Amino acid sequence: MPYLSNPEDRESLYGLLQSYAFRLFLRDILALRDRYQPERLGPFFSPDSVERMARQVERLGFIRRMRGGKIRLLAEAVTDFGDTFEWFVAETLRREFAADVLWGVTIPGLPCGGDFDILALVAGKLLYLETKTSPPKHIEQKEMSAFLARVKTLSPDFAIVLVDTHLRMKDKLVPLLSEGLRAEGMADGEMERVEKETFSWERRIYLTNAKRDIASNLSLCLRNYFLDRFFG
């Protein structure tokens, strides 16, 4: 956010971040930094899409393109995509679901450690939402256990793990979260499918990805949590 000079630029970034391809592009730029060249982005992007997204990122002032296709990363203090993604998801909750939202929340003195990526008040219920920008293969059991420890400490009304990927949740992340629940003493810790790649444990803890789009999958989680409570 400090690199965006005015509210219009923040609005532009919010709109661009709704594209999964654009989020991948930003993550790749941050990973490659000044070693970035278009051909290093792999088969996911066409040359035209790379050029289009590079122009958008340059217009926002994050990069400066050099001769030979290289770039200079102007947002030098930004080391990963995590904080930006937290901001985007928090804004989505605020704009699309009229939630009161805080992100990057640290509460001193808690035994669980770490921070709470997003805390939101949705229709009078406290939601704790954990964001993940790493591919599922890079997410380990200790991260899911840390998430569950924060859930246990805070005791929100419900919690969501949102992974910014189009890959399947069933292959690795559902077993990791189920194992974490059993380790917390939940004998019946199996996650159940809600729809497609969205899963739930007792309609209190949800796991979802970014396929379709983030707002739609958050809507699915919220609808599943609230529907019977209001109309059951």
What is the rounded CA–CA span in Å between residue 151 and residue 205?
Answer: 9
Residue 97: the pLDDT is 97
Label residue 3 by pLDDT band (50, 70, 90): confident
CB contact at 8 A, 81 and 30: yes
Please indicate whether residue 21 or residue 217 has the higher confidence score (pLDDT): 217
- Backbone φ and ψ for 118, nearest 5 degrees, come out as -145, 130
Domain boundaries, the chain: 7-73, 82-231
Please report the pLDDT score of residue 216 as a whole number. 97
**pTM for this prediction:** 0.92
In the chain, the percentage of residues whose pLDDT exceeds 70 is: 93
Percentages of the chain per state (helix, strand, coil), in multiples of 5? 45, 20, 35
pLDDT digit string, tens, across residues 168-185: 999 999 999 999 999 888
Average pLDDT along the chain: 89
CATH 3.40.1350.10 fits 82-231, yes or no: yes
- pLDDT higher than 80, residue 39: no
pLDDT digits (tens, 9 = 90+) for 62-72: 888 877 767 78
User: What's the average model confidence in pLDDT over 120-147?
Assistant: 95
* Mean pLDDT, range 22-39, rounded to an integer: 77
Q: Angle CA(69)–CA(70)–CA(74) in degrees, nearest 5?
A: 130
